[in-house]
Structure 1
Amino acid sequence: MDYADLDAVTWPYQLTNVVHRDLYPTVEPSQPHLSAVGRTVLITGVSGGVGKAIAEAWAIAGASAIVLTGRKVDVLNDVATKIRRVAKLPSTKVLIQPADLKSETSVRQLWDTTAAEIGKIDVLINDAGSMNYAPVGGIEPSEWWNDFEVNVKGPYLMCHYFLKQVEAKGTIIFVGSGTIGSIFPNMSSYTSSKLAQTKLMEFLHVENPDIRCFTLLPGLLKTQMTAEAYLPFARDDPMLTGGVSLFLCTPRADWMRGCIMSVNWDIEEMEAHKKEIQQEGRNKLAFLNAKLGKGGHPWET
């Protein structure tokens, strides 16, 4: 890898000429156009760095209620303390509810408690994730499959109960991964599960016209899941994910529904090329790198 270019790992996934690795005005949580006043949000995976940043962004934007869930109660308490401190509104309600997202019973209890304490949830952000790092056959099958339990079953259960709400409307955001477009040895369970997760988002989009669905790529961050070789390139601010998650809940992002959005992409540049992006599906999953249709692919040779 070219260590002289600290964007080298970001370029292969870059849709726009302009690359963002820090907050900029369009996605700055304190900006009035990103106001979350009157909205409720439930965020999974708050024990991790991205989840914490998302929760902080929604507090700064003035959300009426924020539900925090994860496995570590002490971390949830720490996050709750911080977001209460930075919250735009002193009336913002913060609910801590630990849950095992692989257990339907636990997820059902999470939603029952949320309904009783908060009421209807407007925005669900599926951030919880798991990543094994081993070649196929290098770990026990149950360990390999755990990534699917956390990255696919967990979000599915959360979406299931989101949709069970009375007159369910709002936004569901899946925090995905740019790895779904590449093959990195030792990451088969993680990449495959994240690819399946993104396909789940597409089905939700098609089947539920009242629900706004997105997959959000958080960039490259310094987390416990980041491989050592990539740490020098892990320069993205976690708050970018928080800011973009707020943006995706605004009418301005309606044309991106059912698509992938990366925190590194420039929103204004995408809007300038909106017609091409929509017509050509520039921010959607692709089946094959070929023009499939009547007569087959137009061969160049």
Structure 2
Amino acid sequence: MDSGNDSTRAALVTGGSGGIGRAVVERLARDGIAVAVHYAGNRARAEETVTAVKRAGGRAVSVSGDVADEQAMAAAFDVVEAEFGHLDVVVNTAGIMPLSPIATLDLDELDRTYRTNVRGTFVVCQQAARRVRRGGAIVNFSTSVTRLRFPSYGAYVASKGAVEAMTPVLARELRGRDVTVNAVAPGPTATPLFLDGKDEATIENLTKAAPLERLGTPQDIAEAVAFLAGPGRWVNGQVLFANGGLA
């Protein structure tokens, strides 16, 4: 239960058990933030992340729930507040990325993408807007593909365009609360979600596309999140493109 230390900041990271989410959890923990690692289905991986944070001297707990289910997420937020006593940072890394040309996309996949990426972000933002303390931050996730316009990303980009649109609206709705709301838009990043289904030639081309001539790493993206969650207090209602200069 809560230690009673009101000065310790606390965060909830959705999709925090793997890929970019885990890197964000570990990066925030290094800043001394107590972190709730959210997962939807893979409890074991979430617990591994919690153990890694604790082993490094940090404080962490796992929470579960479908991000698009408002009751499940209200319960998850309740657990975080019961454990840490308050909430300062909410990071929305949970998302799915089905790839298909628009002409042949199964519309059930479109609905599934919107449910997780749009409704899920909206539900989590709704809870965050009600609960995050003064001086806090909400960080959503978009994608640099909104600028790069890769074929087969139509459903994904459409969902992330919605996230980009809602982000500055929430920032303005929280006027007077001293809570920032921004989004991070990663470029090609070496995660299983991104690399799955791509051949070596495609990966090689993407590696050389950015001026820095490499793929991003989850740690690169986590640094952008840590900036927005911490010192970046004058950045608000923005989309930060973290892509090595690719777009």
TM over 0.5: yes
User: In the superposition, relative to structure 1, how do residues 85 and 166 fare at CA in structure 2: closer, same or farther (>3 Å)?
Assistant: closer
- Given that 1:218 and 1:240 are in contact with CA atoms closer than 8 Å, whether structure 2 keeps it comes out as no
CA distance in 1, matches of 2:76, 2:234: 32
Task: Kindly state the Cα deviation for residue 119 of structure 1 after the two structures are TM-superposed.
Answer: 2.2
CA distance in 1, matches of 2:243, 2:106: 35
CA distance in 1, matches of 2:78, 2:68: 17
Q: Which deviates more, 110-119 or 165-174?
A: 165-174
Q: Deviations over 1:88-128 (max 9, x none)?
A: xxxx4311111111212211211122222222210000001
User: In the superposition, relative to structure 1, how do residues 167 and 249 fare at CA in structure 2: closer, same or farther (>3 Å)?
Assistant: closer
Structure 1 residue corresponding to 2:35, chosen from 60, 63, 66: 66
Q: Read off the aligned partner of 2:203 and give its amino acid letter.
A: L
**What TM-score results when the alignment is normalised by the length of structure 1?**
0.69
Task: Kindly state the Cα deviation for residue 260 of structure 1 after the two structures are TM-superposed.
Answer: 1.6
Q: Does 1:237 align with 2:217?
A: yes
Structure 1 residue corresponding to 2:226, chosen from 215, 239, 246: 246
- Tell me the equivalent position of 2:45: 75
**What TM-score results when the alignment is normalised by the length of structure 2?**
0.83
- Tell me the equivalent position of 1:288: none
Structure 1 residue corresponding to 2:83, chosen from 99, 117, 123: 117
1:102-141 correspondence to structure 2 within 5 Å: 102-141=68-107
CA distance in 2, matches of 1:135, 1:203: 30
- Given that 2:68 and 2:121 are in contact with CA atoms closer than 8 Å, whether structure 1 keeps it comes out as no
1:81-100 correspondence to structure 2 within 5 Å: 81-87=51-57, 92-100=58-66
Q: Read off the aligned partner of 1:69 and give its amino acid letter.
A: H
Gaps of 5+ in 2: 1-6, 208-213
Structure 2 residue corresponding to 1:259, chosen from 226, 234, 238: 238
Q: Does 1:47 align with 2:27?
A: no
- Tell me the equivalent position of 2:157: 191
Task: Kindly state the Cα deviation for residue 212 of structure 1 after the two structures are TM-superposed.
Answer: 0.3
Q: Does 1:221 align with 2:193?
A: no
Q: Deviations over 1:56-112 (max 9, x none)?
A: 11121211x21010121011011111111223xxxx431111111121221121112
SS in structure 1 opposite 2:23?
A: helix
| RMSD after superposition | 2.2
- Given that 1:102 and 1:149 are in contact with CA atoms closer than 8 Å, whether structure 2 keeps it comes out as yes
Q: Read off the aligned partner of 2:217 and give its amino acid letter.
A: D
State the identity as a percent.
24
Superposition misfits of 4+ residues, deviation over 4 angstroms: 166-169
- Given that 2:191 and 2:217 are in contact with CA atoms closer than 8 Å, whether structure 1 keeps it comes out as no
Larger Cα-atom Rg: 1
Task: Kindly state the Cα deviation for residue 137 of structure 1 after the two structures are TM-superposed.
Answer: 4.6
User: In the superposition, relative to structure 1, how do residues 245 and 99 fare at CA in structure 2: closer, same or farther (>3 Å)?
Assistant: same
1:147-226 correspondence to structure 2 within 5 Å: 147-165=113-131, 170-209=136-175, 210=177, 211-226=179-194
Which structure is higher in helix share?
A: 2
Gaps of 5+ in 1: 1-36, 267-282, 284-301
Q: Read off the aligned partner of 2:28 and give its amino acid letter.
A: W
